Amino acid sequence: MENSLPALKIENLSVYYESTPALEGVSLEVADGDYLGIIGPNGGGKTTLLKVILGLIHPTAGSVLVYGKSPGHAGVKIGYVPQIAQMDRRFPITAFEVVLTGRLGRGPKPLHRYTKADREAATQALERVGIAELAARPISALSGGEFQRLLIARAMAAEPRLLLLDEPTASVDAASRERIYSLLGELSRSMTVILVTHDILAVSSQVRSIACLSGRLVYHGEPKLDANTMNALYGCPVELIAHGVPHRVLGEHHGEGGADCQC
């Protein structure tokens, strides 16, 4: 990549909701072209971190730079895939129209018409996520996995430099999950990808680096987790079973295991 600026540079970031800290003292640098998985317990600040990067939430303290610029829509093109659980799927719109909105661009568009190039890009994005044949369907007639892939297609249609995904495999079937991971692996070759997930095992076999968030940044580095990190992250040793995973995520357990843990 031609640019040596880091995709993301976070310094000493803290976010408070009223007096409750969601994130405290997080510093994190993500290189251009990286594929980062962010894991952590519920309430660990994963979604908050994404929203700060997007500019939807303002930090209480600290600084965030996306390719050297402040977050917000004035900056770099960012693709965002929200959690599907938060979306209204009764809205009267077809899959194709949803992807087209990714092509709208900046500023209000009086008398706007999508161009032929926009339509082609939208079709291409739908093909890449594997739901081109569903283009004319209203979104209310899509399954969870199809809708999730649709939102990825919409983010791709915007041709982002940085792609952020919030739990893209949380509520989808196994086939869609496979498909989403192989697609993200492919996309990560041409853009920086940051993925928030619960899916610890799968993500470790996919991403190039991993960050563990539990209010603070517990770990950032190679996607190899040991018991100490998991302990710090979830407050107790988490039983990780490595069956069917290309490589072992956890290092070997040493000494005191989960025997004395109440959770």
Partner 1 sequence: MLSALFRYQFMQNAVLAGFFASLLCGVIGVIIIEKKLVMMSGGIAHASYGGVGLGYLLGIEPILGAIGFALASAFGVGALKRRGGARADVLIGLFWSVGMALGIFFVALMPGYPPDMSSYLFGNILAVTRADLWLIASITAVVLIVVFVLFDSWKAYLFDDEFAWIIGQPTVFFEYLLLSIIALSVVALIRVVGIILALAMLTAPAATASLFTKGLGTRMVVSAALSTLFCWAGLAVSYYTGVSSGAAIVTLSGAVCLLSYGVRALAARQIQKHAAKTHAGGEVARK
Interface positions with partner 1 (CB under 8 A): 54-56, 73-74, 77-78, 80, 82, 87-88, 91-94, 97-98, 101-102, 104-114, 138, 154, 158
Nearer to partner 1, 76 or 170 (CB): 76
Nearer to partner 1, 78 or 183 (CB): 78
Rounded CA separation 188/27 (Å) = 23
Residue type, 77: K
**For residue 45, what are its two tokens?**
């600040």
Nearer to partner 1, 50 or 238 (CB): 50
Nearest to 44 by CA among 22, 16, 24: 22
- The residues, any chain, with a CB within 8 Å of residue 104's CB and separated by 6 or more, are 112
Nearer to partner 1, 1 or 56 (CB): 56
Give the nearest distance from C-beta 212 to partner 1 in angstroms: 26
Nearer to partner 1, 79 or 223 (CB): 79
CB of 172 closer than 8 Å to CB of 142:
no
Rounded CA separation 81/184 (Å) = 12
Give the nearest distance from C-beta 114 to partner 1 in angstroms: 7
Rounded CA separation 141/56 (Å) = 30
Task: Report the chain's terminal Cα–Cα distance, integer Å.
Answer: 45
Question: 129, exposed or middle or buried, with CB in 10 Å at 0-12, 13-18, 19+?
Answer: buried
Give the nearest distance from C-beta 117 to partner 1 in angstroms: 15
Give the nearest distance from C-beta 249 to partner 1 in angstroms: 32
Give the nearest distance from C-beta 36 to partner 1 in angstroms: 19
